[in-house]
Amino acid sequence: MTESEPENDFVEIGRKLFAQNCEFIWAADKIGGLPPMGPVEVAFAGRSNVGKSSLLNALTGRKTLARTSHTPGRTQQLNFFALGPDPQAPLLRLVDMPGYGYAAVSKEKISNWTRLMQDFLRGRASLARVFVLIDGRHGLKEVDREMLKRLDQAALSYQIVLTKRDEVKQAQVDKTIEDAKAVLRTHPAAHPDVIFLSSHKGEGLAELRASVARLLFERDRTIFQPAQIG
């Protein structure tokens, strides 16, 4: 692949990438318990119950890779998943982060999660991007804006992913995307593109997979050799 090749190449590479074996490998509830750095990592952040676990399941084509729940605060640690033929040397790690904002747990627990996330974002050289999930029905809330500021302070690349597209009227889709882009223009670390998807119906998943594939290609152009990704 060369830089001049069209974007649909990344769509196909992304499809093949996320068709690889994917399995849970590690959980950490404190910064000292993180797995050793190695493969490129992408993390998924968002308000409690925004649909991070559902998205991970949909991206990888698995129903139970990540546990889903209607109870906010179910994900209570950093969960790492290895994507690739060999879990010991994966092509990519996916990281499911604890939800921020409201959760049905103690203030002390929320404080611990917040500290864990801050330490993870600031000190993880292998972390290439954070995909920040925003409920597309409601747009960015103040707690989301606080998260974006935290990512700016960490000088970490991040991209907005709007969720629940299937619950938003088609006439409102473009406005919802433009509203999110307008917010991002004031955030220096933000990727300018916004993805609007539905984990339930599969809309937008190919675009997100392609975004991850392009990111990996930019980090390591040898990663997509035929022998590795098929």
- Alpha-carbon gap, residue 214 to 119, rounded angstroms: 27
Confirm whether 11 is domain-assigned.
no
Share of the chain above pLDDT 70, in %: 86
- Alpha-carbon gap, residue 194 to 180, rounded angstroms: 7
Q: Structurally, how many domains does the chain consist of?
A: 1
Residues counted in the chain: 230
pLDDT of 66: 74
Confirm whether 222 is domain-assigned.
no
Q: In terms of residue numbers, what domain contains 107?
A: 25-204
Confirm whether 112 is domain-assigned.
yes
Confirm whether 178 is domain-assigned.
yes
Confirm whether 155 is domain-assigned.
yes
Confirm whether 2 is domain-assigned.
no
Confirm whether 218 is domain-assigned.
no
150-180 burial string, b = 16+ CB within 10 Å, else e?
bbeebebebbbbbbbbeebeeeeeeebbeeb
Mean pLDDT value across residues 168-177: 94
pLDDT of 91-119, one tens digit each?
999 999 988 876 555 677 767 777 888 88
| CATH classification of the domain holding 94 | 3.40.50.300
pLDDT of 192-216, one tens digit each?
999 999 999 999 999 999 999 999 9
CA distances, 191 to each of 75, 159, 161, 195 (Å)? 26, 5, 11, 11
Confirm whether 7 is domain-assigned.
no
